[in-house]
Structure 1
Amino acid sequence: MDINSSMSNEIQEEHHEGEGEGVEESDTKICDLPDELLQLIISSLSTKDAFRTSILSKRWVDLWKKISKIQLEEGEPEKREQFLDFVWRLLLDFDCSNLKKFSLSCEVGEDAPQINQWLHGFINPTKIEELNLDLKGIEEPLVFPDYLFTCGTLTEFQLCMKHIFQIPSRVHFDGLKNLILENIIFPDSSTTQPFFDGCPCLEELDLLNCSWLNVKHVCISSPLLQKLIISEGAGDDDDEDDLGGPNVSNCCNIVISGTNLKSFSYDGDFRNVYSLYSSSSVIDAVVKVQAHEWWNEGCYRDVGYSAFSFLKGLSNVEKLHICDAINDTGTLLGHLPLFRNLAELSVGDHVSPIELSCEALLTVLRNSPCLQVVDFLGGVSLPKDASNNSYKILDPLPTCFREHLKKVNIYGFHGSSVEEVLAMKFLLREASVLEKLYVFSPATYLPYERVMKVCKRVARFPRARRCKIEFESLHKNKKGNGVRRCKIEVESLHKNKKCNGVKGKN
């Protein structure tokens, strides 16, 4: 029994009522199209729907067997045997000579030998262009076909598996442009370095929660690399010693050299040592830190130094997102580079506000003379003592406040402290060319009346003539079934310098 007969009853039941009408419509609209075009149309469907077309007429029985895309995704655990049987029958009936895109997402478990055979069967080294593998629960090594690593047609490769990545001795991806590796464990330095060296045409590289425990040193260098994303998630204890700190002996020295790199993003806990070279081309950068509860003052200081080392290589960025970890770098702040091209700056996280008097923040602001937009992702505050002595603490005032800063976005207003209002007062007063202050409150427990009261108070603060203020907040519906979004706008000052009224709308 082939794959057609194995699923015919199910398909006929689902399409029984409209089958005749569907065939008639196909005959009147696409029956005259050549097989090649029909196969292209079928390839845009899911694999299951592509197979369903085999019941339309005799002509369609074999058309699906030569489509260019296969997507296989395992469903519920209780249907695993059906899934395994379907894939085997598919492999027997399907013509893989035309397959350009292959995607497989499934639990491996004890069936690694079967998965290995699937990979060898579906991957055609002379045709495959896009390969996406999401393999879970691996109990024994998967063996990828050696010819995959010398495939000249492959342009996109995405691999997600929490297991050792078996890399052959010879790697050469002539056309690989996009590579995403997630949760994989690199085997050792001797095979990991040749792997990256064998990707000379990479334009985008994502390394998501990968383990470098077995690797001492690696250099990632590609003349065409334009975008690099590195994520090291908190919660993986493999790199921590018994005392709750990073295991320095297991750190990997990762050197990044990108002469054509445009976008760089790091989000993690700096469990490895990174060095960034030849990065003057980067215009969009993110440096975020995932803190651990067990971190002590020394950990924060070390992480601050690591974040600082990244910033040193990002002096030409136009957009930058940083956390406040660099505040622990002490005297190194005086050596922070001048960000001459920086136009958009995002600071902090979505958890807690950053102090406007923070030494690291002030240093970045002072070193960004052309800054136009600042986003405070977790809110911003100004302590009372700093507010009373703002001219001393914030002296010298960043040049951008007087010349270029047009918009300030505060995304984490909680309305729980006067320090938040003091920060807004200072920003409105000192940013003499500011055109808009946007304040968003995600705290649904904050009453609308409280937001309106704060807005009216802020509306009385001195500010640039053209500056508009906009408050936006979320509030629970009175019946408790959902959330509504409210917006309050404060118009700009008239020439007579009187503050306009506040307009609110739900």
Structure 2
Amino acid sequence: MSNEMQEEHHEGEGEGVEESDTKICDLPDEVLQLILSSLSTKDAFRTSILSKRWVGLWKEISKIELEEGGHEKREQFLDFVPRLLQVFDCSNLKKFFLSCEVGEDAPQINQWLHGFINPTEIEELKLDLKGIEEPLVFPDHLFTCATLTKFQLCMNHIFQIPSPVHFVGLKNLILENIIFPDSSTTQPFFYGCPCLEELALLNCSWVNVKSVWIPSPLLQKLIIQEGARDYYDDDDNTLDDDEDDVGGQISNFCNIVINGNNLKSFSYDGDFKNVYSLYGSALVIDAVVKVQEREWWDEGRYIDVGYSVFSFLKGLSNVEKLHICGVALLAINCTGTLLRHLPLFRKLVELRVGYLASPIELSCEALLIVLRKSPCLQVVDFLGGVSLPKDASLGPLPICFMEHLKKVAIYGLHGYSVEELLAIKFLLREASVLEELNVFSASLPKERVGKRKKGNGGDGDSGGVTIVVEDG
């Protein structure tokens, strides 16, 4: 290229491009505070050494995150937070997150909660409090805060609930490991949350509550998890993980009634230590029902659990996606007469069955009835594998096998069991519109992993089904 052409080329490179000399220090305070709010609280605090202008900027950020980090940093943490509270302007604070060990410092933690939580501005509050030795006292103004939209509380202790409770704007509530004090304060708490759209009750203890009604007309998503035990120890006000369920019986159970006419998503994972009644669930399209089996369960307990599972399923007739574990299906089997009263799942298109490493028999009566009552089913995932005993009788085939079932996935296949192979052969033979079978196995020989086979519809082959074998 000639010098003349090079000059012309360089002259034209900058045309239409306007260079900007804007630096971060030229941005308005409001923008800088948004940037600082995206940093960790300690990093935002450190910017005060940059210049005189930055000294006050961090004091008005909208988010504070305080995490102890570890026992070796506790002394530094306990020193930093009070100094922060002394100089920080909480009038603009919209998001406050605190995660720490409480121990013997409950009075100091109480001061932090009262200081940082501004009832006229706070929108999101997340508290993860461990090792509580005496009750924490939450500021009364928190429970009548009109601006709070998201509240997450995790603590293995009694939740001291004042009166009144009036969360007019609260949409997302997550309660984890807390111990509800009694019926007289727990019931008004849920009455005071009329606008909830998402509710998660994770391993909470209801031993002090006989019954509670949760009226949530706007609720769209509900998650319930229950741990292995639900005992209350009077000496330390914490859940006692060392006691066994005496004599195989559950004591101190709570009747929990949930009314959610707009509920779209529902998930239960636990051992039904409490009795749940779900009303207004006709709009649920995505549901999970998992049961945690206990060693001490006898036949009577399986029947009780079966009735609880049935109670959930009868309210989920319009579900489109359903995940149900094998224990839940076996429990319904134990009830006998309830099987024929399961609802018709007219809209169910995707069914997930079982847990990882927990295979289910294809001849399980409850599973077969669910399949027969799901005429539009298109996808089935066996998450823990599937088998078929040699002399099993499956009765009439589900309609979906002949009209809609297009895809089956089997996880955790061993590949050496005759019962596993019989189940696969049955699916390939009887699911006449099946298009794809995915098999995930960690124990199959490597040369068999990843291979695909497409049948041509001849006798004994897969009838045009694509078979995919993957490692997993």
Matched residues, number: 440
Alignment of 1:294-443 (within 5 A): 294-324=296-326, 325=328, 326-386=332-392, 393-443=393-443
Q: Tell me how far 1:328 sits from its aligned partner.
A: 2.1
Alignment partner of 1:95 is 2:89 = yes
Q: Distance in 2 between matches of 1:438 and 1:300?
A: 32
Q: TM-score, structure 2 length as denominator?
A: 0.89
**Secondary structure of 2:99's match?**
strand
Q: Distance in 1 between matches of 2:294 and 2:59?
A: 51
Q: Tell me how far 1:242 sits from its aligned partner.
A: 5.5
Q: Tell me how far 1:461 sits from its aligned partner.
A: 7.9
Alignment partner of 1:192 is 2:158 = no
Q: Distance in 1 between matches of 2:144 and 2:160?
A: 14
Given candidates 260, 273, 276, the residue that maps to 1:274 is 276
Q: Distance in 2 between matches of 1:44 and 1:242?
A: 47
Structure 2 CA distance for partners of 1:38 and 1:396, relative to 1, 3 Å: same
**Secondary structure of 1:285's match?**
strand
Given candidates 181, 198, 216, the residue that maps to 2:210 is 216
Q: Tell me how far 1:221 sits from its aligned partner.
A: 1.6
Q: Tell me how far 1:298 sits from its aligned partner.
A: 2.1
* Identity score, percent: 80
**Secondary structure of 1:384's match?**
coil
Q: Distance in 2 between matches of 1:329 and 1:159?
A: 38
- Greater mean alpha carbon deviation, residues 346-355 or residues 366-375: 346-355
Given candidates 245, 248, 251, the residue that maps to 1:245 is 248
**Secondary structure of 1:267's match?**
strand
Q: Distance in 2 between matches of 1:255 and 1:461?
A: 55
Conserved 8 A contact 2:266-2:287:
yes
Amino acid across the alignment from 1:407 = K
Unpaired runs of at least 5, structure 1:
1-26, 387-392, 475-506
Q: Distance in 2 between matches of 1:452 and 1:418?
A: 22
Residues 166-209 of structure 1 show CA distances to partners (whole Å, capped at 9, x for unaligned) of 00120010110000000000011111111111111100000000
Alignment of 1:9-158 (within 5 A): 29-158=23-152
Residues 424-446 of structure 1 show CA distances to partners (whole Å, capped at 9, x for unaligned) of 10001111111100110144xx4
Conserved 8 A contact 2:452-2:468:
no
Q: Distance in 2 between matches of 1:453 and 1:469?
A: 8
Conserved 8 A contact 1:112-1:142:
yes
Residues 42-70 of structure 1 show CA distances to partners (whole Å, capped at 9, x for unaligned) of 11111011111111111101100000000
Amino acid across the alignment from 1:415 = G
Q: Tell me how far 1:454 sits from its aligned partner.
A: 12
Alignment partner of 1:167 is 2:169 = no
Alignment partner, residue 9 of structure 2: none
Structure 2 CA distance for partners of 1:381 and 1:451, relative to 1, 3 Å: farther
Q: Distance in 1 between matches of 2:300 and 2:71?
A: 46
Amino acid across the alignment from 1:299 = R
Alignment partner, residue 14 of structure 1: none
**Secondary structure of 1:385's match?**
coil
Q: Distance in 1 between matches of 2:461 and 2:147?
A: 59
CA root-mean-square deviation: 2.3
**Secondary structure of 2:110's match?**
helix
Q: Distance in 1 between matches of 2:419 and 2:48?
A: 68
Alignment partner, residue 18 of structure 2: none
Conserved 8 A contact 1:241-1:247:
no
**Secondary structure of 1:62's match?**
helix
Structure 2 CA distance for partners of 1:58 and 1:161, relative to 1, 3 Å: same
Residues 417-468 of structure 1 show CA distances to partners (whole Å, capped at 9, x for unaligned) of 111111010001111111100110144xx432576899899x9984564420
Conserved 8 A contact 2:355-2:383:
yes
- Greater mean alpha carbon deviation, residues 164-173 or residues 294-303: 294-303
Structure 2 CA distance for partners of 1:334 and 1:54, relative to 1, 3 Å: same
Alignment partner, residue 481 of structure 1: none
**Secondary structure of 1:143's match?**
coil
Residues 264-322 of structure 1 show CA distances to partners (whole Å, capped at 9, x for unaligned) of 00000000011111110111111100011222222222211111111011111001111
Q: Tell me how far 1:75 sits from its aligned partner.
A: 1.8
Q: Tell me how far 1:231 sits from its aligned partner.
A: 0.1
Unpaired runs of at least 5, structure 2:
1-20, 233-239
Q: Distance in 1 between matches of 2:423 and 2:371?
A: 15
Amino acid across the alignment from 2:292 = Q
Amino acid across the alignment from 2:344 = L
Q: Distance in 1 between matches of 2:461 and 2:397?
A: 16
Q: Tell me how far 1:220 sits from its aligned partner.
A: 1.3
Residues 315-337 of structure 1 show CA distances to partners (whole Å, capped at 9, x for unaligned) of 11001111232222212100000
Alignment partner, residue 15 of structure 2: none
Residues 209-237 of structure 1 show CA distances to partners (whole Å, capped at 9, x for unaligned) of 00000001111121110000000022555
Q: Distance in 1 between matches of 2:319 and 2:461?
A: 29
Q: Distance in 2 between matches of 1:460 and 1:183?
A: 58
Amino acid across the alignment from 2:296 = W
Conserved 8 A contact 1:376-1:411:
yes
Q: Distance in 1 between matches of 2:450 and 2:458?
A: 13
Q: Distance in 2 between matches of 1:237 and 1:121?
A: 33
Amino acid across the alignment from 1:68 = S
Alignment partner, residue 472 of structure 1: 470
Conserved 8 A contact 2:181-2:208:
yes
Q: TM-score, structure 1 length as denominator?
A: 0.83
Alignment partner, residue 12 of structure 2: none
Given candidates 222, 226, 244, the residue that maps to 1:228 is 222
- Greater mean alpha carbon deviation, residues 367-376 or residues 29-38: 29-38
Amino acid across the alignment from 2:323 = H
Amino acid across the alignment from 1:180 = I
